[in-house]
Amino acid sequence: MTNPSNQNSHLHERLHALAQNLWWAWHPEVIRIFTDLDPHLWREADHNPIAFLNSMPPEQIELRASELVLHSRINYAFRRLNEYLGKEHTWGSIHCGNLWSRPVVYLSAEFGLHESLPIYSGGLGILAGDHLKSASDLDIPLMGIGLLYNQGYFSQRISKEGWQGEEYVDLNIHQLPLEPLLDGNGNPQIVRVDIREGFLLARIWKLQVGRIRLLLLDSNVDGNSEEDRQLTSRLYGGNDRTRIRQELLLGIGGARILQMLNIIPGVLHLNEGHSAFAILEEVRRIMQDDGIPFDRARRRVSLYTVFTTHTPVAAGHDRFSPDLTEEHLGVFRETLGLSHDDFMALGRVHPEDKGEPFCMTVLALKNSRRANAVSAIHSDISRRMWHALWPNRPEAEVAIGHITNGVHVLSWLAPQMHKLFETRLAHNWPIRMTHQDIWENIAAIDNGELWEVHQILNTRLINFVRRRLAARAERLGDQDTIQQAESILDPDILTIGSARRLATYKRGDLILSQPDRLLKMIADPDRPIQIIFAGKAHPQDNEGKKILQSIIEHTKNPAVKRRIVFVEDYDYNVARHLVQGVDVWLNTPRRPLEACGTSGQKVVLNGGLNLSVLDGWWNEAYNGRNGFAIGRGGMHNDPNVQLQRDAEYLYDTLEKEVIPLYYDRDADGIPHQWVKRVKNSMISLGWLFNADRMVRDYALRLYLPAAAANSAETV
């Protein structure tokens, strides 16, 4: 027999080891262990296993583990983690030859990996997080670099009047799976970037995402001015000055970390322009190491630099005034031997225009081997948008291709659906998810079985929303809502979810534009609908906050019978509940401004249907039988006309297609035609719109050619 105290010390070690690698976050069997130990505390800890384990006295953990016979499950999970980390014959080991000596370095201003690590704001961050997780699953030699925001983005608190307030809380670094990067003497490694009026310093934290290492720069160190200690406090906070300083740290600081670690990048992947200064630091390094002039070094760096652009919205591209740029990059520019004008030219569309600001996207586009957009339609728009950079080429030959985004399936798939996939797709389906044929097995699943799993998920979502609404009502002292919380929403009603950043072009309130028509659908005695909204407005975006306020106004109308609700504080956790439990996912951006959109892809996996404008990924995904389209892909120069037309299409589609199909029930109570459409959606889209397919595309089409050109040049 094993000695019990020995067993218990193993228990602690193993639980902590599991908590230290974010691998747990996409393995439901590990999450289940934490939940089973104490469901209430687990929720209280915001699903942060380190905070959770710290909050439970060791004796209590042991007691619970014994009561629930968790030891073997913990041992099994621990073994699975080690098998995962040590696995051979992976996709990457077979396909990524060149990259094993010189890895891909993936830079991004945000990473959305889990709700307990709030260093993301929205789609861009979630995409970066999903990219790392799939790179880990596929075993691609890749390292991430980003910033550690000590106060994250923000927590949304909506007042009684419906106005968004922002709450910032300091992260507790000791409750996160972060380890400081130390030098040989055990002192923290510090990155330094000189500017005109001094310097910026940052320490570096290491985070393990499965097999992938993510390094995060943090300016909160001794030696920085008080102001600069706060520099990396908030994501997208402050002004241009904050922004350029953050980007100096991310780009130049990030590339300097590589030098500290003696890593020579095989590929530099800039996820959005925020990190584009990394190009310049790589140029500086090569000029110094190889003693070659700026132009040659620049050409060499561009051989292995890959750039992904993420937005067709002009304001989404950082631009810095010549003065601000000179103040922050003047010192660095001198090390490159460039004049102010030569330097500014790197970030200008028209170098001769001395008033033009320095644009990070321009820097990235002019100095990368390949640039890509994130959906087919987005690459068309991007080529038009940046045509002026290559005035002698026809627009169609502007070198911006596309790799459509996908989502990390195991992070977004509900455990209940996971179980169904395991028995029905194939036992090893996660490593074969990009194969179309395994998804075809969905066709054979019994409609009733699939519907039942979906209904369970829908009920879970409704319970979650009720809890969230009750919590907000408690805060506001809203007795009515507290008392009625249990009767808000109904699992037998068609549930529409709509959650996204409340930016004006996303038109999150389009469905509210004809209130009478909406009210009629909501209050229909036989075939009613209910809508769950969520989303944050940027703290400085008053227009976005007004959209939010108008949604909140609607939720208060007694005539809607509590069938329109708004869930506060849209984050990873809220998103997971929503995408897993809705019947219909509504997306109404102003075409063509949605670069890709990924939330609808999460819905596909969990058996919901998309109802969306034909923009971004949906423009290439919709086939007439796997969801619903709003309109036919039209556009109009006048945004108001476009809005009215799209609203008309939206109501028509709801009234004539979506609602009738959902309520068309057989004697068994199952909407067979609806379920058929759900199956079409999973079969036609699951294998394509996932992050494994996306990362493989990046590897085969961009990383490997870039790495080959890089090594041909340097051998």
Ligand X SMILES: *Cc1c(COP(=O)(O)O)cnc(C)c1O
Concatenated DSSP letters of 187-208: PBPEEEEEETTEEEEEEEEEEE
Query: Judged by CB, which is closer to ligand X: 282, or 569?
Result: 569
Element (H, E) at 495: strand 494-499
Distance, in Å, from the CA atom of 203 to the CA atom of 183, rounded to the nearest integer, reads: 11
* The pair of three-digit structure tokens given for residue 518, joined into one six-digit string: 């909406």
Query: Judged by CB, which is closer to ligand X: 169, or 443?
Result: 169
Q: CB 300 → ligand X: shortest distance, Å? A: 35
Angle between helix 415-424 and 447-476 (nearest 10)? 170
Distance, in Å, from the CA atom of 466 to the CA atom of 123, rounded to the nearest integer, reads: 26
Task: Tell me the chain's radius of gyration from C-alpha atoms.
Answer: 26
Contact between 222 and 215 under an 8 Å Cβ cutoff? The reply is no
Distance, in Å, from the CA atom of 655 to the CA atom of 44, rounded to the nearest integer, reads: 41
Q: CB 501 → ligand X: shortest distance, Å? A: 6
Query: Judged by CB, which is closer to ligand X: 126, or 453?
Result: 126
Query: Judged by CB, which is closer to ligand X: 265, or 597?
Result: 597
* The pair of three-digit structure tokens given for residue 412, joined into one six-digit string: 């977004």
Query: Judged by CB, which is closer to ligand X: 191, or 579?
Result: 579
Q: Which residues of 128-165 are buried (b: 16+ CB within 10 A; e: fewer)?
A: bbbbbbbbbbbbbbbbbbbbbbbbbbbbbebeeebebe
Q: CB 191 → ligand X: shortest distance, Å? A: 29
Query: Judged by CB, which is closer to ligand X: 282, or 571?
Result: 571
Element (H, E) at 617: helix 616-621
Query: Judged by CB, which is closer to ligand X: 616, or 671?
Result: 616
Among the listed residues 635, 540, 624, 637, the one whose alpha carbon sits nearest the alpha carbon of residue 594: 635
Q: CB 308 → ligand X: shortest distance, Å? A: 15
Q: Which residues bind ligand X (CB under 6 A)?
A: 122-123, 126, 500, 570-572, 575, 597-599
Q: CB 572 → ligand X: shortest distance, Å? A: 5
Cα 682 from chain centroid? 21
Distance, in Å, from the CA atom of 660 to the CA atom of 673, rounded to the nearest integer, reads: 10
Query: Judged by CB, which is closer to ligand X: 447, or 612?
Result: 612
Query: Judged by CB, which is closer to ligand X: 181, or 457?
Result: 457
Concatenated DSSP letters of 147-188: E--TT-S-EEEE-TTS-EEEE-----GGGTTEEE-B-TTSPB
Q: CB 35 → ligand X: shortest distance, Å? A: 21
Q: CB 410 → ligand X: shortest distance, Å? A: 14
Q: CB 362 → ligand X: shortest distance, Å? A: 24
Q: CB 597 → ligand X: shortest distance, Å? A: 4
